[in-house]
Structure formats: C-alpha cells, structure tokens
C-alpha cells in the first residue's frame, strides 16, 4: 500500500507542476490579465483542497473533492490558455488515480463526470486548438505527457499488485477459516468421544442400587464435571462459529410445545437436590406448528433456564411464554424469571460480553465460560430477535427474549400445556431390538448399557462392514444406531450401502447417527445424507428416551 500512496503523491506533484507551468505560460503567451486569472484559479483550487483535506476526516469525501477540483481547474485553465488536450489528459489521469480504490458509488460519479466533460470538449474545443505555442512549451508538454504515462503505468502496476495481494490474503483467510472449522470439528470429536465413555459409565454406575453413599457421591461428581466440560466445549465451538461468521440459521417446521416440553424435561434433571420449583406458564391458543430454527431457539432457552437454575439455590424458576399473531407470523415474548442471587445494577451492561462473568466472588464455585449469554444475543440477532434483562440484586432476575416465528399451520394450537411432571414416563420396550455400530469398544459398552436400561435387547458390532454382514442374515432390528467417524466405512458410507439394498426392510429401518461432532449444521448434514435422526455424544438419557419413543414401533412400547 506504501507504493500505491507514493504513486498517488507523485500524480499530485505532477498536477501541481502542470498548474505552475500553465501559470507561467499564461503570463508569457496571453499577458498579465489571463496569467492572473490562471494564477487565481490555481491558488483557489489548491487552497480549498488543502483546507478540505485538513478539516474533513472522511477520506472518500476528500478524494471526491480533489477529483472535482482537478476537473474544474483543468477545465478553466485549459480553456483560458488553449491547452485543453493536456487538461483532459491530466483530468483522466487524476480520475484514475483517485478512483482506483474508491467505493463503487464514487467511481460511478467520476465516470459520469468524465463522460460529460469529454462530450463538452468535443463540442466546444475544435475552434480553439492551441496556436502559436512556443516550441519550449510543446517540449515541456510532451515531456510531462511521457512522465504522466510512465507514472500511470506505475500506478496501475502497483494497484494490480496491491489487489493481487489482497486477493491472496483473502484466500489465505478463507483457508485459515476452513482449517479452523476442521480443527474445531476434530477437537469436538476427540474430546466428546472419551467424555461419552466417562459420562456414560458414570450413568451406568449410578443405576446400581448397591452402591455405597460415598461411591455414589463420587460418581455423581464425576458425571457433573463431565457435563460441565461438555458444556464448555459446546460454548467454545458455537462462539467460534459466530465469530467467524459461519453460523447459519436454518428454518424448519417444528412443534413449539414439543420443543418447550423437551427443554423442560432436560432442565428437570439439572435441578438435582436443590429446592427449586420449575414452572411453565404457556399461553393457550398459541400456534403450535411454526417455522424457524428450532435447534437455536432450543439452545437459547436451554441456556437461559440453565443459568437460572445454576444461580438459584432455593425458590423458583418460571418459564413464561406469550405471543401475538400478525399476518402469518407470531411475535413471541418468552421470559425466564428466577428467585436467585440477582445481578448488581453496574454489572448489567457486562452480561452479554464474551468471556465475562459478573460478581465472581459470589459465584466462583459455579463453572462456566461466560459465553452463554453472548451466544444467545448473537443467535437472536441472526434470527431478528433481541433480549433484555431486569434484575434486583439478592432478589432475582428476569430475562426476556422477543422473536418472531412464521406460522406453518394456524389450525394447530397449543392447548393445555404439560410440564415435565406430567410427561410420559421412560420408554420400556422389552420386545424391541436394536443394533449399535461403533469402532470404539468403550463407547459400544456405554451405548449398550444405556439402551438396556429401557429393557431393550441390544446387539453391537465394531465396523460398518460388520454391520452389513449382520444385516444380510438378521433383519429384525427396530433401530440401528451408527457411529459417524469410523475407519474404512464411516457412518455415511454404511448408511448409503444399507439404503442401496433393494429389500423393503433396509429402505425403511430407522437409522440414527451417533456422533461426537456437534458443530453447527451437523444435524442438517445428517438429515440431508439420509439419516432419520441423530444422538450426540455424550449420550443424554432424555434425548435417547425421546429418540426411542419416536422411532420404536408403538406396539413394542409399554
């Protein structure tokens, strides 16, 4: 960029030199009156341009003004001393110089001005071609012309070099961003795979009624720490996605009441032994069939409710949902109110800042990255919504989000809403049979143990190839769970080979992806590839229960 700026300064120096030459030429060829006029015009234009450059800080405006100054002074002086041909040259040169890196709208303005001036010259100049110009001035003009052409070449060369450098930097940035996202996906997989084993084994151990109180407490601590670590990994992945501008909002058709119910179910597990009552107040008659990014809205509500529970030791957490229909859309107002520790007034402005936790002395025993609320705010912004907070320190807080969702079917409405206490119990299906495919022996054991708690018969295998061999002889599995990242045949390869089989069973058996890769868009990727659904690792029992209830034959569920 230094070379380009240098070339621009050289152009301006040449232009000023030409003005001085024109002043001298005007005095010599046309007398003092014309010379004074040329001098006055030159001085005015130079003075005004300098003043504007000093006092106006907007670069685009200064550049545009310089262009106009060159146009006016070149036109007036060229017309006065009959050297319009050179005036045109200098004007075009300056136009190129100034507009190379200018915004498109300014380039368009300069182009229009150039056309108008050139047309004006065509109709007014022919009868005023310079006459009796001294040989010395011709030589000076020719030398100046050659210098201007050389400088123009240098300018264009530097401009192209600069643009090429910018393109290379943009390409490098794009590759770096791709590498970053690949790294995040791999990091997610590598961390979540062992965490699945830790959390899963802890879950299996806790289901043993013969555990001593000390062993049970220690195992619960292991499980809690594992969940906190997974939450931190998820926040970092989402924040990185938002920071790089790669977070996509993907609208789908979803049931609003089912989404709220799932969130409340997951929250009920997080209450643990706290004396906290979770309640939901959902307005009756709201449209239930909506179109929006269900995953992101679920994530926002999950985060707000998790925070409310985390900072409330005793009392209540209330989810309140209201809405108003408006020409095919419903404007939702969703608030989460708690009776927790509250937030100081001076800390409210820090809440939505990345890696920021407030009142750290009081909450130092509560884990977290400080990214949750920042992520919520960014996601809501992407979806055209917003978030606000009210809080009284020591009394409680209220977070309210406003978001509009498109109505898919106005005839389907939310009626009497069931809270988590009224939800259907865990699936029990002793007559059901599933197959789990995973190359990791520990994860196979975890998946098998967790699914068996539903009374289901579970078979396992360690590769996609082995899965295909089993399915040649056995076609009575109600669901097949397939790990995504496996050697030789990965989950998607295995899926494609199963679906390519002509038998009716292979085309219809529910295939569920097991994945430790949970970066944004992974659900959409699995669905587009042909999976019926997916279960993230570490396996969440509420999520697994919902999958089993949805895809197991109803006649096999009790």
- Reading the chain (558 residues) residue by residue, the pLDDT tens digits are 445 455 556 556 666 776 777 778 778 777 888 888 878 887 887 787 777 767 776 766 766 676 677 667 777 776 777 665 555 555 555 555 555 555 555 555 555 555 555 555 455 444 444 454 455 555 555 565 555 555 555 555 666 677 777 888 878 877 777 776 667 667 766 777 787 788 888 888 888 888 888 888 888 888 777 777 777 777 777 777 676 666 778 888 888 888 888 788 777 766 666 778 888 888 888 898 899 888 888 888 988 888 888 888 888 899 999 999 888 899 999 999 999 888 888 878 777 775 555 554 444 444 545 677 888 888 888 889 999 999 888 888 999 999 999 998 877 777 666 554 444 578 899 999 999 999 988 889 889 999 999 999 999 999 999 999 999 988 899 999 999 888 889 999 999 999 999 999 999 999 999 887 655 556 777 888 899 988 888 888 878 888 999 899 999 988
Quote the CA–CA distance of 4 and 9 in Å, as a whole number.
9
Q: Is 252 helix (H, G, I), strand (E, B) or coil?
A: strand
Whole-number pLDDT of residue 214: 87
CB within 8 Å of 315: residues ≥ 6 apart = 275, 276, 277, 338, 339, 340, 396
- Report helix, strand and coil shares of the chain as percent, to nearest 5: 60, 15, 25
- Half-sphere exposure (CA, 13 Å, Cβ side) for 395? 7
What per-residue confidence (pLDDT) applies to 460?
94
Nearest to 200 by CA among 227, 176, 181, 180: 227
In the numeric block, the tokens 């400080």 are attached to: 370
**How many Cβ atoms are within 10 Å of 260's Cβ, its own excluded?**
23
User: Are residues 302 and 264 in contact, defined by beta-carbon separation less than 8 angstroms?
Assistant: no
Structure tokens at 277: 């009552």
- Please tell me the predicted confidence (pLDDT) of residue 430: 92
User: Cα separations (Å) of 469 from 21, 461, 464, 475?
Assistant: 91, 10, 9, 11
- Indicate the length of the chain as a whole number: 558
Measured between alpha carbons, how far is residue 466 from residues 402, 446, 486, 494, 504 in Å? 50, 19, 12, 10, 20
Count CB neighbours of 282 within 10 A: 22
The answer, yes or no, to whether the previous bond of 538 is cis (omega within 30 of 0) is yes
Q: CA–CA separation, 398 vs 304, rounded Å?
A: 10
Strands 252-255 and 287-292: antiparallel
Please check whether residue 309 is in contact with residue 317, taking contact to mean a CB–CB distance below 8 angstroms: yes
Q: Which of 333, 345, 329, 431 is nearest to 394 (CA)?
A: 345
Residue 251: predicted pLDDT:
85
Residue 97, token pair as written in the block: 């110089």
- CA separation for the pair 524, 530 (Å, rounded): 10
Q: 32-55 and 2-30 are packed helices; what angle lies between their axes, rounded to 10 degrees?
A: 160
| pLDDT at residue 551, as a whole number | 93
């Amino acid at each position: 960029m230094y070379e380009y700026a240098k070339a621009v300064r050289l152009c301006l120096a040449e232009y000023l030199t030409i003005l001085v030459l024109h002043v001298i030429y005007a005095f010599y060829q046309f007398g003092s009156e014309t010379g004074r006029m040329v001098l006055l015009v030159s001085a005015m234009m130079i003075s005004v341009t300098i003043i504007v450059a000093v006092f106006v800080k907007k670069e685009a405006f200064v550049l545009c003004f310089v262009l106009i100054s060159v146009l006016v002074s070149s036109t007036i002086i060229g017309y006065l001393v009959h050297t319009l041909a050179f005036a045109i040259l200098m004007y075009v040169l300056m136009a190129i110089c100034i507009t190379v890196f200018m915004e498109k709208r300014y380039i368009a303005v300069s182009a229009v001005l150039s056309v108008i001036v050139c047309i004006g010259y065509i109709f007014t100049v022919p009868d005023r071609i310079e006459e009796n110009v001294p040989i010395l001035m011709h030589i000076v003009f020719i030398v100046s012309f050659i210098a201007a052409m050389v400088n123009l070449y240098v300018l264009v060369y530097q401009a192209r070099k600069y643009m090429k450098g910018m393109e290379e930097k943009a390409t490098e940035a794009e590759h770096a961003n791709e590498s970053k996202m690949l790294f995040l996906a791999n990091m997610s997989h590598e961390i979540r795979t062992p965490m699945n084993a830790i959390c899963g084994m802890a879950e299996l151990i806790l289901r043993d009624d013969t555990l001593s109180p000390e062993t049970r407490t220690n195992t619960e601590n292991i499980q809690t720490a594992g969940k906190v670590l997974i939450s931190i990994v998820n926040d970092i992945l989402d924040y990185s996605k938002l920071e790089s501008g790669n977070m996509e909002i993907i609208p789908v058709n979803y049931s609003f009441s089912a989404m709220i119910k799932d969130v409340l179910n997951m929250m009920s597990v997080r209450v643990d032994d706290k004396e906290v009552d979770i309640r939901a107040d959902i307005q009756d008659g709201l449209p239930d069939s909506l179109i929006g990014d269900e995953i992101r809205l679920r994530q926002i509500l999950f985060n707000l409710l998790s925070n409310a529970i985390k900072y409330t030791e005793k009392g209540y957490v209330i989810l309140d949902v209201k809405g108003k229909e408006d020409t095919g859309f419903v404007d939702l107002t969703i608030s989460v109110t708690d009776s927790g520790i509250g937030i100081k007034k001076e800390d409210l402005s820090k809440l939505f800042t990345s890696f920021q936790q407030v009142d750290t002395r009081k909450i130092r025993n509560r884990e977290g990255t400080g990214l949750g609320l920042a992520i919520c705010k960014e996601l809501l912004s992407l979806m055209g919504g917003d978030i606000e907070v009210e809080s009284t320190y020591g009394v409680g807080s209220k977070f309210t989000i406003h978001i509009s969702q498109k109505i898919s079917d106005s005839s389907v409405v939310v009626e009497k809403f069931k809270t988590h206490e009224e939800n259907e119990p865990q699936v029990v299906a002793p007559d059901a049979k599933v197959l789990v495919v995973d190359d990791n022996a520990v994860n196979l054991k975890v998946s098998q143990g967790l699914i068996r708690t539903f009374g289901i018969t579970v078979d396992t295998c360690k590769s996609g190839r082995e899965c295909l061999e089993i399915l040649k002889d056995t076609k009575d599995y109600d669901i097949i769970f397939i790990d995504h990242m496996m050697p030789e045949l990965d989950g998607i390869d295995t899926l494609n080979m199963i679906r390519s089989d002509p038998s009716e069973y292979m085309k219809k058996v529910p295939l569920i992806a097991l994945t430790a890769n949970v970066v944004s868009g992974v659900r959409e990727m699995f669905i587009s590839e042909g999976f019926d659904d997916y279960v993230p690792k570490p396996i969440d029992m509420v999520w697994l229960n919902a999958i089993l209830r949805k895809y197991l034959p109803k006649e096999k569920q009790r």
